[in-house]
Amino acid sequence: MDYPLLNAFLTIMWVFLWVMWFMLLFRIFGDIFRDDSMSGWGKAGWSVFCIVLPFLGCFVYLIARGKGMGEREVRKARQSEQEFRAYVRDAAGTSQAGAPGHVDELSKLAGLHDHGDITDAEYERAKEKVLAG
């Protein structure tokens, strides 16, 4: 059971490097197949290049398309965020029948009340009507 500390350190380092390598491969293949601007032949070519010559293929891919990887990821994140916000606005802003929802009506009432167009009593009555349905 003689396993020096340096050998343990080197083993941990190699395992870490292999995990990093596989993460890089998954990231590159994910980028290849998510890129809508690349043709099918381009995707097949990059995939074969990264499978047949993995180190060279991955490094060439990172050099040739590395900047675009980040831009595509940021664009996809922004698009997802916009879709999520639109969904939340749609779900919170309108009822199922398509009429203005409680949130819209309550915010309009609050604006009228804050501006001084309606009194406290009128605001409370209107709010009760909105919440009652």
Summarised one tens digit per residue, pLDDT across range 24-60 is 999 999 999 999 899 999 999 999 999 999 999 999 9
Tell me if residue 81 falls in helix, strand or coil: helix
Confidence (pLDDT) at 98: 47
How high is the mean pLDDT of the chain?
A: 88
Share of the chain above pLDDT 90, in %: 52
Q: Which residue, 53, 48, 58, is CA-closest to 20?
A: 58
CB 113, CB 120: distance < 8 Å: yes
Helix (H) or strand (E) holding 59, with range, is: helix 54-93
User: What distance in Å separates the CA atoms of residue 37 and residue 1, rounded to the nearest whole number?
Assistant: 56
Backbone angles phi, psi at 100, to 5 degrees: -55, 135
User: What distance in Å separates the CA atoms of residue 76 and residue 34, rounded to the nearest whole number?
Assistant: 10
Confidence (pLDDT) at 130: 83
CB 47, CB 32: distance < 8 Å: yes
Confidence (pLDDT) at 50: 93
Spell out, as residue ranges, where the chain has pLDDT lower than 50: 95-98
